[in-house]
Amino acid sequence: MDVRFQRNILKWLVQNRRGVDFLPLMEERLFDLAELKAAFQLMGGYLKEYKKLPKRAESLLQYFRRESRGQTISDDLVERITLEIEACYDLLSDPEIVQDSVVEYAQSKAMREILKDYRTKVDELDGTVLNSLLQDVNKVIDMARQGDEAADLGKLLLRHHHEIEENILDGHPCCYAGLNALTAKNGFLTPELIVFLGQPKSFKTGLLLNIALGYVRAGLNVYYVDCENSKNSIVRRMRQAMVKATYTEMRKQTYSKELDEIVLLTSKMGGDFGVDYYAGNSGKTIADVERNLQWYKEQYNWVPDVIIYDYLDLMDSTNRYVKNEQEKIQKVYFEAIDLNSRLGTFCFTGSQVNRNAVNKEDIDMTAFAKDFGKAANCHAAFALIRTADMMETGEMHIKPIAQREGVPPSSHNKVRMKLNESRMMCEEIDEEAIELIRKRAGKTDLKAEAAAYNALGSNEVDIPDFDFNTGDDEKAPF
């Protein structure tokens, strides 16, 4: 490898967005000249300190000046290092060839480390060890995957004002009109990642499944990435949501005929639902999801429009060298968004709140468990609020806590939901109907209101032309 190509490697590392992933995999021995070695060391130090690579030569030069204070370095070497740093930001010709060499070197180094790690485990190569080995090898293979980095290049906003096509799209609305109204686009679009933040057992999975069912009924394909339940559990609960049945009723096949009819009618809309189990905290990555989706495409010519993760925090990064838990979660979020960009999907995930937010009515973005950076990485985050009183009355509030677009967080900006967890029901409360109930029942407190609401259809509260199970025809989502 000649010196000119060594310079091109440094150029690629600072100019390419994947440089932050590959620089830690490179080694100083790749470079022959002292000034090249120094430039490489400075890039590594800058990345370690600031978690990114400098976009301009001046930033790296300033870092060099700071780090070299008190050191004895000849003026000649300082000048040569300065020239090499400046050259790193010159135009790189044939970046594809350089990238192939960087990826090949990184893969070779990673495979050597894997073989070294597993050398002592060959004699005990049981299913667990073999699965771990395959996971690590797949991550090495995935290093070669390239993103479309130039897809949005080529136009300047002011100079090409009349040439740029304005592309303002409506979102794909979910089955909850109130939730759609909290967004800027009345729904969700590629490549968005939407987070539902809630305490343990706050019906996150139930909400995600009802959203999935709504999209399937609307003719979209939904892929469910389950990390903590089981494939059988998700399928059963999805069917419960379809017929609003209890576990016992499903086991006794009480609604088997109704389920067959619903499946027939829903399938005519063109959408479908796929689910696979990815054991949480077992090394499963977004690359595994992509490989399985490729199988669905080859087997059934089926591709998703929506991906639902239950939940992303339990997955691993495709970069096996990321060990820090917070950095790993951020990487996984970005990898999910990148997959959305390439597949044309948008996705939802659940996430846990920290202990300080449990049983609280006022939840903000500081409630993210493990890593506050998730609030910055996602496109929108909604809190699922369930206090002790709400648990008792079967109510939940959905409140925006962070959005790149859409309504801001506010006590007034929320959606009230009525839950029946045993039947996997999660339905938006009609505020107009509630007001009518209040007037008829003469009650205003939460428990009495919920009791009146649950009594709809009975002789206790006679509200004509309204039924909790479906809503009136005009306001029913389907």
The pLDDT score that the predictor gives to residue 261 is 95
pLDDT band per the 50, 70, 90 thresholds, residue 460: very low
pLDDT top residue among 226 and 342? 226
pLDDT exceeds cutoff 60 at 102: yes
pLDDT band per the 50, 70, 90 thresholds, residue 470: very low
pLDDT digit string, tens, across residues 290-303: 999 999 999 999 99
Average pLDDT rounded to a whole number, residues 137-166: 68
Class of domain 177-429: alpha beta
pLDDT exceeds cutoff 60 at 478: no
Burial class (CB in 10 A: 0-12, 13-18, 19+), 404: exposed
Amino acid 177 reads A
The Cα–Cα gap between 441 and 230 comes to: 43
Amino acid 370 reads K
pLDDT band per the 50, 70, 90 thresholds, residue 363: confident
The pLDDT score that the predictor gives to residue 433 is 63
DSSP helix/strand/coil, 259: helix
Distance separating the N- and C-terminal Cα atoms of the chain: 64
The pLDDT score that the predictor gives to residue 9 is 94
Q: What is the DSSP letter of 200?
A: T
pLDDT top residue among 466 and 232? 232
Place of tokens 């806590």: 401
Amino acid 230 reads S
DSSP helix/strand/coil, 222: strand
**18-22, long-range: CB within 8 Å, 24+ apart, which pairs?**
18/99, 18/147, 19/53, 20/47, 20/51, 20/52, 20/53, 21/319, 22/102, 22/103, 22/106, 22/143
Contact predicate 142/18, CB 8 Å:
no
Place of tokens 């830690």: 24
The Cα–Cα gap between 320 and 385 comes to: 35
The Cα–Cα gap between 202 and 223 comes to: 22
The Cα–Cα gap between 452 and 431 comes to: 13
| Domain limits, the chain | 1-141, 177-429, 431-478
Contact predicate 372/353, CB 8 Å:
no
> How many angstroms separate the Cα of 203 from the Cα of each of 370, 384, 397, 453?
20, 9, 12, 20
pLDDT exceeds cutoff 50 at 476: no
17 Cβ neighbours under 8 A, 6+ residues apart: 147, 149
pLDDT exceeds cutoff 90 at 335: yes
pLDDT exceeds cutoff 50 at 424: yes
The pLDDT score that the predictor gives to residue 465 is 36
pLDDT exceeds cutoff 80 at 180: yes
The pLDDT score that the predictor gives to residue 166 is 66
The Cα–Cα gap between 137 and 53 comes to: 27
Stated pTM of the model = 0.66
pLDDT digit string, tens, across residues 67-85: 999 888 999 999 999 999 9
pLDDT top residue among 261 and 478? 261
1-141 CATH: 1.10.860
Phi, psi angles (nearest 5°) of residue 425: -100, 135
Number of H helices, E strands in the chain: 18, 9
- How far does CA 440 lie from the centroid of its chain? 45
State the pairing for strand pair 380-385/395-403: antiparallel
The rounded radius of gyration (Å) of the Cα atoms in the chain is 27
